[in-house]
Amino acid sequence: MRYLVQRFLQFSLVFFIVTFGVMVLMRLGLNAPGDPARTMLGGTVSQERIDEMTLRYHLDTNLIVQYWYWLKSILWNQDFGYSVQQNISVARYMRPNILVTFFLGVYSLIWGLIIAVPVAVYQAYKRDSRFDKAGNFFSFFFISVPALVFAPFIIYIFVTKLNWFPRIGEKIYPWDDLVGHFQNFFLPVVVLSLPTAAVFARLLRSDMIATLQSDFITLANAKGVSPQRTLWAHALRNSLFSVLTSVGVQIGGLIGGALVVEQYFNMKGMGFLLITTILSKDLFVVQSLSAILVASVVFANLGIDLMYTVIDPRIRHARALI
Amino acid sequence: MNTDTSEETKPIARKRGIGWILGTIWISTLSFCALFAYQLPFITAYGEKITVAGKAKSYGWGPGAQAWLGTDKSSFDVLSRCVYGARLTLLIGVGSTIMGLFLGGVIGILGGYFRGRIDRVVSIIVDSLLALPPLLLALLIVYRLDDLKLKIWFWGITRPWEITITLGVLAIAPLARITRAQTISLREREFVLSARSLGAKNSRIILRELLPNLMPTMLTVAFTGLGILIAAEGALAFLGLGVERPQTWGKLINISRDDLDSKPWATLFPCLFLLLTVISFNIIGDRIARRFDIREATL
């Protein structure tokens, strides 16, 4: 419990530092009074509108006070601010784009795990077999392939040559058209999930091999537990740590990969929105988007910490992991 | 701590393998071509168009004798574009890796060696850098540097430098993390204790005792990271944050990807360059890791 509280405090600190850092970064160079409001309004606007905006969002106060107001309106009123350039509230502006990236990320993560776990377990079980070697080769290959390179090859093979999938343009939500949704998301998810699976498989394989050599596995075998059960219940559970830890790291990488993949498949996700808004200096949108990204990374890490304690009860009592 | 105990018994020649040879050959060929791009006869000059019957034609040649890898949208030679792109890409990759090695190494060693309050600060810095998706952080920094150089400071800064600095910042966190972890385990070892009991100062222990032992790990992460940073540079260029001249691989991919269906060579060859380079650096990093028995460093 104490461990979790400690982690929670640590992660909240990280959240505040990063969101504040993004705010400062975006405001650098906007020192004159009225500057932030003028940038956000974009183009030439009257002095009254600038003053109104400045007053409404406390843009004339110092950064820490502004940050406080901004955070307060998000946490208390779920108000992410207003995108004047688009004349729409930031929350509504972001929603469709966030959903696209959310689907991409979640599907890829899930598929990554679904592919990685059985492959890695079997690799460790049949160590140095032909399957193991092939698995090692492919995981090394896919770890090295950046999404930037993987996507055009996939598109060329499956869209241009084989014509199995459509070139994606529009968003289809699963509640509108389930088949179309999966058809649209299939290739992007392949591009994102294979490298993820490769990372997981590699970590899990080496951990499994270490676990399979430990005494309690020998004991399990000696007392007649079936090999399958030893493998899947005893060994797997004790080998999951590195994979879980890397899930936290992978989320960041997935979002980065998603930025590129979105471009290839013409999906308007968070990446598209981020680039647009950073360019047009829509400060509130950039701040909110990065806050959401940081929050998701932080929450995922907290969730992983929680899962540690479920998998290994000893951690509940330990103070901290290195 | 290498879990692969059987690797130990195998002779070194067996360990290297074909991948290592191909990887080093690719990297050295590419660096050679990039270095002497102006002198090599088979690489057309950067601005020279390859014409079809005296006229510049968009995607005039496919891969063949006139242009080995075909010509692109503006009828430039894809091969020469890729090689000229490599000049800058490799430079940016190496520069940012050195920056990351230095800064990440320094804060990692400080945090791992002194522990306590310094360690807390280091951990928080590293966690914060890792909390934002790396590509997003890069986008933010490059765009802002771009803006700021017009406004107040950094007048002299050019695009390549901006990207180098940005990628260097990205490289800090993973390097600091692995150095810190290694330092923590090394500082408890006997040789550090003996140095300390002989009255060595902290600076001596860090520079003479710890640093040589940290080098292999840092080198491994640096090589693997080099591949990742080059890919990140490609992604930045792809997203429109590249260097104007010479165009790097990401930019080349982005320019011609709309014609992927009909003229695949202009997109796929720059991709291949990027892919081979990243894989080669990964292979080299991997072999160094095995050579020095370093456990997987997840970046």
**What is the three-state SS of chain A?**
CHHHHHHHHHHHHHHHHHHHHHHHHHHCCCCCCCHHHHHHHCCCCCHHHHHHHHHHCCCCCCHHHHHHHHHHHHHHHCCCCEECCCCEEHHHHHHHHHHHHHHHHHHHHHHHHHHHHHHHHHHHHCCCCHHHHHHHHHHHHHHHCCHHHHHHHHHHHHHHHCCCCCCCCCCCCCCCCHHHHHHHHHHHHHHHHHHHHHHHHHHHHHHHHHHHCCHHHHHHHHCCCCHHHHHHHHHHHHHCHHHHHHHHHHHHHHHHHHHHHHHHCCCCCHHHHHHHHHHHCCHHHHHHHHHHHHHHHHHHHHHHHHHHHHHCCHHHHCCCCC
Q: Decide if B253 and A148 are in contact by the 8 Å CB cutoff.
A: yes
Please list every residue in chain B whose beta carbon sits closer than 8 Å to the beta carbon of residue A274: 136, 139
Q: Decide if A28 and B278 are in contact by the 8 Å CB cutoff.
A: no
**Which tens digits make up the pLDDT trace of B69-122?**
777 777 778 888 888 888 888 999 999 999 999 999 999 999 988 888 888 888
**Which tens digits make up the pLDDT trace of A63-93?**
788 888 888 888 887 777 777 777 778 888 8
User: Residue B222: helix, strand or coil by DSSP?
Assistant: helix
Q: How far apart are CA A234 and CA A315, in angstroms?
A: 18
Residues 6+ apart with CB under 8 A from A295: A15
State which residue of chain A sits closest to B278, comparing Cα positions. A144
Please list every residue in chain B whose beta carbon sits closer than 8 Å to the beta carbon of residue A144: 227, 275, 278-279, 282
Question: pLDDT above 70 covers what percent of chain B?
Answer: 84
The mean pLDDT value of chain A amounts to 82
DSSP B4-47: -HHHHHS-HHHHHHHHHHHHHHHHHHHHHHHHTTTT-TTS--TT
Q: Decide if B298 and A199 are in contact by the 8 Å CB cutoff.
A: yes
Count the Cβ atoms, other than its own, within 10 Å of residue B155: 9
State which residue of chain A sits closest to B261, comparing Cα positions. A160
Q: Decide if B144 and A206 are in contact by the 8 Å CB cutoff.
A: no
* For range A197-216, the mean pLDDT: 88
| Number of A–B residue contacts, CB under 8 Å | 154
pTM (2 d.p.): 0.84
Which residue, chain included where needed, has tokens 């390549």?
B160
What's the pLDDT at B9?
46
Domains, chain B, with CATH or none: 14-298 (1.10.3720.10)
B169 touches chain A (CB under 8 A): no
Please, which pLDDT band fits residue B1 given cuts at 50, 70 and 90? very low
State which residue of chain B sits closest to A298, comparing Cα positions. B131
Please, which pLDDT band fits residue A34 given cuts at 50, 70 and 90? low
Main-chain dihedrals φ then ψ at residue B205, nearest 5 degrees = -60, -45
Q: Decide if A297 and B147 are in contact by the 8 Å CB cutoff.
A: no
Q: Decide if A13 and B124 are in contact by the 8 Å CB cutoff.
A: yes
Which residue, chain included where needed, has tokens 């995981």?
A139
What residues 210-239 of chain B have any CB closer than 8 A to a CB of chain A? 227, 231, 234-235, 238-239
Q: Quote the ipTM score.
A: 0.82
Please list every residue in chain A whose beta carbon sits closer than 8 Å to the beta carbon of residue B279: 141, 144-145
Say whether pLDDT at A275 is over 50.
Answer: yes
Of B140, B275, B296, the CB nearest to A278: B140
